[in-house]
Amino acid sequence: MSEVKLAAETRTEFGKGAARRIRRDNKVPGVLYGHGAQPLHLTLPGHELLLALRTPNVLIALDIDGKGTELAIPKAVQRDPLKGFLEHVDLLLVKRGEKVTVEIPVHTEGELAPGGNLLEHVLSALPVEAEATHIPESVTVSVAGLAAGAAVHAKDIALPSGVSLAVEEDAVVLQVLAAQAEESAEGEGEGGESAEA
């Protein structure tokens, strides 16, 4: 897992006006939480943070006021709903060797069994517990040949060494639904013919 270094500054101004001024300078207001410490209000570089957040659960090495580095992972990110720019970020303080609970994206590979069935992502992200500096970016699940009614449970997903589930083993992650649109279309067609006769 890659580590991204960002320079951060502590901030003493709060409120909407202060947040707007920070964003005008292409920076992002944020808060660092964790380990029972008082929340630390920060100003982070906007562009570099945006690039870092492209990686889910990215490990960020924060150089705070040039006084030392703290490790953190993103906990909550607020974006402008229209323009998509970062409005605020909450970061969680972590230590090397510490276990954290995060959600990792679930990717699929392979083709379903023939028949026009649909794959439903019941969980788009899988809750796992992993060492803070070794969080997997994602997990990939093969759905090759799965037919209608098949399901992939959390326990069926192979996880990297040192990573464990943070959800019930029997939780359904993916399921294959039978194609129903074609059947209902055929039924409507038959009904239409009998009405004409």
69 and 116 share a domain?
no
160 within some domain: yes
- Does residue 37 lie within any of the structural domains? yes
Q: Does residue 191 fall inside a structural domain? A: no
> Among 114, 103, 98, 99, which Cα is nearest to 171's?
103
- Taking the mean position of all CA atoms in its chain, how far away is CA 167? 15
Average pLDDT of adjacent 10-residue blocks, the chain of 197 residues: 81 75 82 84 87 85 86 86 81 88 91 88 92 88 91 93 93 89 49 45
Domain boundary among 71, 94, 117: 94
pLDDT the model gives residue 25:
81
- 18 and 79 in one domain? yes
Residue 196 lies in a domain: no
- 134 located within any domain: yes
7, 82: one domain: yes
Helix (DSSP H) and strand (DSSP E) numbers for the chain: 3, 13
**Residue 174 and residue 143 in one domain:** yes
In a domain, 190, yes or no: no
Q: Which two tokens stand for residue 163?
A: 């990573």
Quickly tell me which residue has 């490790």 as its tokens.
71
**pLDDT (0 to 100) of residue 172:** 94
Residue 136's domain is classified under what CATH number?
A: 2.170.120.20
Structural domain including 135 reads 100-182
Are 87 and 104 part of one and the same domain? no
How many domains does the chain fold into? 2
Which tokens belong to 153?
A: 């449970």
Tell me which residue of 141, 125, 145, 143 sits closest to 56, measured CA to CA: 125
Out of 94, 112, 144, a domain closes at: 94
Residue 181's pLDDT is: 56
Q: How far apart are CA 99 and CA 125, in angstroms?
A: 18
- pLDDT score, position 2: 65
Mark whether 57 and 121 lie in a shared domain. Answer: no
Tokens matching residue 159: 């996880």
